[in-house]
Amino acid sequence: MESDAGPFIIALYFGLHDPRDVDLFLGDLAVEVEDLATNGYEYNGVIYPCSVGNFILDAPARALVKCCVGHGGMGACEKCNIVGRYLQHRMTYAQPGVDCRPRTDESYARQEDPLHHCGHSPLEFAGIGMVSQFRLDTMHLVYKGVFLRFLEALLTWDGAWNPSADVTQTISDKLCGFAASCPRDFNRKPRKFLEYYKYKATELRRLLLYDGVVAFKELNENVYKLYLLLHAGIYILASSYLLPLFLDESDEFLASFVQYSANVFGEHFVVYNVHSLTHLAEECRHHGPLETFSAFPYENHLKTIKETLRSGYQPLEQIAKRDSERTELNDVSVERQNNEIYLFENHNDPDPEEQGNQFRRICVNKVTFKVDGRDSCFICTEGCVVVLQNIIERRRDSIVFVGRKFLDSDNVYDYPTDSSRLGIMKVSRLSDEHELFPLETVFGKCWLINDGDCFVSIPLAHSIPLLH
């Protein structure tokens, strides 16, 4: 059984500005954390051991909670003792070849680096590892941080890398054209490229990991290769399947991105967020794929909390009452079993390839496939890309997909690695023959993107492997 409770409120802070007294802000939490770690949590006469796994915060919040310098300081890096330098009105960390010592909980407690510390956090006295238990949140660090900075440099900084108006319009037209094929897994569909500054973090994640692979082919070759370094490195770290296979390569890709981005855009490009990419693979080595310590679910829940407010009068009381009502309706500690499968939209094919009940839509572990549409592409365990034509539930309680597979496949890119190693392929020549694919052989769902005379198939990282 796996817990699927999701975020829930423990405490709220309300004020006209961010808290300035960290001892007052965190004092009660530190006492409670220490008590739970020592005595556990008692429920129905049973004492459960309790400990804090990770603190997931954006960079300014981490600096406040940890009592360390902010992301603009010379000693801002939270994972190593690199020293920044002020360049073109920003603190940069472009120092290739510098061997920096990693920070540890012990060195942090001794405050060995005077450039990094601003005081002592109450969490230190509660036994919290001030380095090991604080994650680098990818929502703010990568998508709203590094990738957004990449787009800003590309489009607003002056340099030889700037795309022409025609190239920019071509990219924009391609992105808008991709919207029709964009799977339902993405809440926000592709839109105009020049609206990048309005993109939400989910849109930036989608563009970095998926449709940018096709749309950005129009860019300068060196800039496109720089994008591919970031894309491949993050795509690997975002996948629970690819992570153990290519972790070290991902580390190399991201380190190369940091190095080459300074060559392309200038050393002032390598600010705190960009430098922190060099520590991201190590974070995943110990804590799993990026989404396991991302701020996305908490930011989504924060939106839900804000929506409960009807006015500015007694906001804490309003939220507490609405949250209490919601908790009574929905038990927080929901348990779910692996391989949840739901079938929808029964229909009848006059000439079925297999006997049994026929369906147009199926949901497997929260991943939806649907016949003839944007949710119909999948990749098999043997590596072939297939378009779904029918879903049949056999009488012996097994499910098969009926589909047509692409006969030709090739790499989409060969730098920094062959894209087919990551499951990303250029496919063409859809077979006329219908074949049967037992559900056990369906490896994951793909986004099938039209790329002129062929298609590009990109597996959705969260859907692989489909069956646990």
Kindly state whether residues 287 and 314 are assigned to the same domain: no
Q: Where are the alpha helices (DSSP H) in 308-353?
A: 315-329
Residues 370 and 411 placed together within one structural domain of the fold: yes
pTM given for the model: 0.93
Measured CA to CA, the distance from residue 256 to residue 246 in angstroms comes to 15
Strand partners, 358: 347, 392
Q: Give the confidence band of 23 by pLDDT, cuts at 50, 70, 90.
A: very high
| Residue (of 41, 1, 4) closest to 332 by Cα position | 4
Please check whether residues 122 and 163 belong to one and the same domain. Answer: no
CB 170: neighbour CB atoms within 10 A? 16
Q: Which of 134, 154, 183 is the last residue of a domain?
A: 134
**Do 201 and 267 share a domain, yes or no?**
yes
130 and 143 housed in the same domain: no
Q: How far apart are CA 231 and CA 210, in angstroms?
A: 8
Asked if 157 and 253 sit in the same domain, the reply is yes
Ramachandran angles phi, psi of 201, nearest 5°? -60, -35
Task: State percent of the chain over pLDDT 90.
Answer: 78
The CATH number of residue 422's host domain is 2.30.30
pLDDT tens digits along 362-406: 999 999 999 988 999 999 999 999 999 999 998 767 899 999 999
Residue 364, strand partner residues: 341, 367
Tokens matching residue 24: 């007052």
Identify the domain boundary among 282, 317, 333.
333
At 87-105, the pLDDT tens digits run: 999 999 987 666 789 999 9
Q: Look at residues 369, 237, 251 and name the one whose alpha carbon lies nearest to residue 359.
A: 369
Residue 38 belongs to some domain of the structure: yes
Contact 43, 245 (CB under 8 A): no
258 and 143 in a single domain? The answer is yes
Please calculate the CA angle 152-154-158 and round it to the nearest 5 degrees.
95
Q: Which residues pair with 411 in a beta bridge?
A: 425
**H-helix or E-strand spanning residue 171:** helix 165-178
Residue 234, Cβ density class (10 Å: 0-12 exposed, 13-18 middle, ≥19 buried): buried
Task: Show Cβ contacts of residue 171 under 8 Å, excluding neighbours closer than 6 positions.
Answer: 163, 193, 215, 216, 218, 219
Question: Do residues 13 and 22 make contact, with C-beta atoms less than 8 angstroms apart?
Answer: no
The pLDDT score that the predictor gives to residue 329 is 52
Answer yes or no: do 382 and 273 share one domain: no
pLDDT tens readout for residues 36-64: 999 999 989 999 999 899 999 999 999 99
End-to-end Cα separation, the chain, in angstroms? 12
Number of domains in the chain: 4
Shared domain for 178 and 72, answered yes or no, is no
Q: Is there a single domain that holds both residue 430 and residue 450?
A: yes
pLDDT digit string (tens) for 144-175?
999 999 999 999 999 999 999 999 999 999 99
For residue 370, the enclosing domain spans: 341-463
Cα separation, 269 vs 262, whole angstroms: 6
Say if 297 falls within a structural domain: no
Q: Are 17 and 353 in contact (CB under 8 A)?
A: no
**Cβ atoms 386, 211 nearer than 8 A:** no
223, part of any domain: yes
Last residue within a domain, chosen from 134, 151, 179: 134
User: At 396, which amino acid appears?
Assistant: R
CB 454 within 8 A of CB 427: yes
Which tops the pLDDT comparison, 229 or 17?
A: 229
Whether 422 maps to a domain, the answer reads: yes
212, 160: one domain: yes
Residue 2 pLDDT greater than 50, yes or no: no
Instruction: Inform me whether the pLDDT recorded for 6 exceeds 90.
Output: no
Measuring CA to CA, which residue among 466, 424, 467, 423 is closest to residue 444? 466
Measured CA to CA, the distance from residue 114 to residue 434 in angstroms comes to 67
Query: In the structure encoding, which two tokens stand for residue 35, read together?
Result: 């008590």
In three state form, how does the secondary structure of 138-169 look?
HHHHHHHHHHHHHHHHHHHCCCCCCCCHHHHH
Residue 243 lies in a domain: yes
Mean pLDDT of 321-341: 63
**Confidence check: pLDDT of 331 > 90:** no
Is 91 found in the same domain as 44?
Answer: yes
Supply 214's token pair: 């096709």
